[in-house]
């Protein structure tokens, strides 16, 4: 009798699972239809679908409901009508006040903790930088240093590997005060290791300002290698600025240029293509968060709202130069870099084993996987690539 009860219960559970996955597939199809209506400027039909989607989505539900919530909200921002959505628009990634800035910064640290994405890019870029150093002196120009969390592991490696190493970091950022705080933290850490260290803050006034910051010549100490670190940064620049910047970097003849980007094409001129790319990419991200964190994780909720929610809104609701998320796939970067005279430096097997160790120790899940392709390292979820790191000179 008990086993019959169990089988009945088990069968009932299976039915529930099937019906919920059917429902999420239906909702996903509705979402795509809604985006299609918006791309055709059929806002009335889109509005009808948005109200169905809104009532089936929530920032607190399962992965599908949460994903639906952010995409539905972002689509509603494309409808030219004040009452199209009860949800307040998310502030754009560029026009954020101090409070928002603080929230974003703390979310960045949570993102760094609960997902392997940032740590993977930092660890792999650091390994490429270390392998380019011969004498123990290095000058890193870091685009968008944020909290500087990438650099303590490199400092430790330098202190262990070389007799009297020297590290200089020219750090580019938008907030001078924040840059100074980051510099102070890194200086203290360097001091604790007995590492010679210099920190040069470089204030970026706007997205077109790199030409002023990157000089025609950088003064290097004897035996000092020059490295440019571009982790999750280059996609923010429009094509013309990007080519000019890379051309300038190439002229300085650095030992290594490390580049990390998302494996997604959010830069397609057609809205529907971008929408589908974003839906596929963030479905994988939300699945990975669902699989690796407890259902009521406060950090996950904050990271999805502040970080991924804003990214989705940027890709889906903004057009032209207003859009900051201009990610492209590795092949596009490769083509551009090679056309400017860069050549790929193969990442070492050690970079791969280090990344494997990172996943095993901190993010033990069957879903994550690593792959070396085109001499570069890719991190993916369920055999679909999410991020790539490559190194060039």
pLDDT band at 288 (very low <50, low <70, confident <90, very high): very high
**12 pLDDT above the threshold of 80:** no
Domains, in order of start, for the chain: 19-79+265-320 (no CATH), 116-264+325-392 (3.40.50.150)
Q: What is the pLDDT of residues 347-384, one digit of tens each?
A: 999 999 999 999 999 998 889 999 999 999 999 999 99
Tokens for 366? 């069957």
- Residue 218 has a CB neighbour count (10 Å cut-off) of 15
CA 20/CA 37 separation, integer angstroms:
25
Residue with tokens 């991200």: 285
Q: CA geometry: angle at 307 spanning 312 and 380, to 5°?
A: 75
pTM for this predicted structure: 0.90
pLDDT band at 295 (very low <50, low <70, confident <90, very high): confident
Q: If residue 245 lies in a helix (H) or strand (E), which one and from where to where?
A: helix 239-251
Q: What is the pLDDT of residues 25-71, one digit of tens each?
A: 999 999 999 999 999 999 999 999 999 999 999 999 999 999 999 99
């Amino acid at each position: 009798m008990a086993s019959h009860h169990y089988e009945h219960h088990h069968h009932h559970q299976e039915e529930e699972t099937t019906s919920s996955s059917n429902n999420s597939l239906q909702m996903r199809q509705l979402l795509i239809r809604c985006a299609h209506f918006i791309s055709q400027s059929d806002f009335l039909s889109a509005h009808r679908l948005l109200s169905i989607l809104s009532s089936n989505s929530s920032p607190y539900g399962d992965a599908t409901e949460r994903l639906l919530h952010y995409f539905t909200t972002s689509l509603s921002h494309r409808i030219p009508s004040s009452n199209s959505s009860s949800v307040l628009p998310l502030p754009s990634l560029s026009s954020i006040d101090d409070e928002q800035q603080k929230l974003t910064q703390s979310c960045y640290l949570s993102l760094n903790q609960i997902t392997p994405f940032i740590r993977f890019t930092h660890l792999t870029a650091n390994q490429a930088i270390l392998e380019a150093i011969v004498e123990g002196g290095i000058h890193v120009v870091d685009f968008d240093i944020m909290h500087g969390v990438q650099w303590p592991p490199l400092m430790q490696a330098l202190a262990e590997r070389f007799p009297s190493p020297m590290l200089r970091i020219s750090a580019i950022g938008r907030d001078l005060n924040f840059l100074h705080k980051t510099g102070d933290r890194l200086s203290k850490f360097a001091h604790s290791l007995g590492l010679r260290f210099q920190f040069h803050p470089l204030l970026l006034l706007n997205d077109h300002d790199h030409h002023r910051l990157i000089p025609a010549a950088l003064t290097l100490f004897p035996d000092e290698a020059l490295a440019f670190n571009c982790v999750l940064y280059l996609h923010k620049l429009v094509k013309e600025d990007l080519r000019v910047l890379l051309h300038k970097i190439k002229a300085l003849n650095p030992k290594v240029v490390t580049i990390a980007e998302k494996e997604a094409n959010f830069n397609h001129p057609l809205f529907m293509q971008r929408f589908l790319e974003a839906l596929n990419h963030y479905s994988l991200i939300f699945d990975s968060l669902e699989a690796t964190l407890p259902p009521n994780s406060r950090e996950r909720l904050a990271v999805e709202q502040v970080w991924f929610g804003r990214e989705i809104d940027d890709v889906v609701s903004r057009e032209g130069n207003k859009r900051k998320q201009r990610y492209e796939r590795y092949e596009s970067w490769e083509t551009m870099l090679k056309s400017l005279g860069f050549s790929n430096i193969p990442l070492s097997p050690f970079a791969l084993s280090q990344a494997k160790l990172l996943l095993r120790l901190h993010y033990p899940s069957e879903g994550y996987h690593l792959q070396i392709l085109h001499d570069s390292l890719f991190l993916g979820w369920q055999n679909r690539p999410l991020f790539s790191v490559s190194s060039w000179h």
